[in-house]
Amino acid sequence: MHPLSQPGSDTFDGVLRRTRLAAIVRGTDPDAALRTVLALAEEGVALVEVSLNTADALGVIRRAAAEVGPATLLGAGTVLTEDDVARAREAGAGWIVTPALTESVTASVRAGLPVLAGALTPTEAVGAIRAGAHAVKLFPASLGGPGYLKALRDPFPDMPVVPVGGVDLAGAEQYLAHGAVAVGVGSPLVGDAAHGGDLAALRARARRFVALCADGTQEQA
């Protein structure tokens, strides 16, 4: 079990609400994906998701879990089936992300794993929360943008929503201003690093995202 999942340590919800940022790693090179995860952790990204459509994703999670410190909580993304949940948990994932309301949501809840459940419409978002999701992964957020999040929160002001999909630095600032509990960021943060690209550029982007998302957290707490 990952240290952040253990009793007496910071909870997933606490980390999500405090740091307001989840990085999404998806790549074609397992070694590069691992280096990307470790670099993000070193730059202070506390929540790092490895998508299961990454090459040797479970191996990347397993290797990263053995190397990251207790300040980083590894998750598995693009989780669709009950078997996906079991394999991700065995590899060391401490939280789960789904692209839609599939069997993986209830399987994660049964396994005691925090889950961000993918949803787009109000009906899907309510269904995600009723299924036991810790937060709604608003996906693809780029379809409606920050204005759609604002409209969604009008009838559901207390619903924890994490926009994902095309969230760049400027978009992250707008989503957070409109009440997102956090943002999930893939290529605008990771770039080509998980494919063997520039780690120095990744680190620079990570520092900018961490600073932006942490800004004002204490005021909102």
Q: Is there a domain that residue 2 lies in?
A: no
Tell me the CATH number at 107.
3.20.20.70
Query: What local confidence, expressed as pLDDT, does residue 69 receive?
Result: 87
Give me the residues of the chain with pLDDT under 50, please: 1-9, 218-221
Element (H, E) at 205: helix 199-214
Q: Is there a domain that residue 221 lies in?
A: no
Q: Is there a domain that residue 202 lies in?
A: yes
Q: Is there a domain that residue 100 lies in?
A: yes
Query: What local confidence, expressed as pLDDT, does residue 221 receive?
Result: 34
Active-site residue flag, 137: yes
- Give me the number of domains the chain comprises: 1
How many whole angstroms separate alpha carbon 21 and alpha carbon 213? 6
The one catalytic residue among 43, 49, 124, 219: 49
Enter the pTM of the model.
Answer: 0.92
Query: What local confidence, expressed as pLDDT, does residue 216 receive?
Result: 56
Q: Is there a domain that residue 220 lies in?
A: no
Q: Provide the domain limits for residue 145.
A: 7-213
How many CA atoms lie within 13 Å of 67's alpha carbon, on the beta-carbon side?
15
Active-site residue flag, 124: no
User: Would you put residue 76 in left (φ > 0), alpha (ψ -120 to 50) or beta?
Assistant: beta
Query: What local confidence, expressed as pLDDT, does residue 215 receive?
Result: 79
- Comparing CA positions, the residue from 203, 181, 199 lying closest to residue 137 is 181
The one catalytic residue among 103, 137, 173, 219: 137
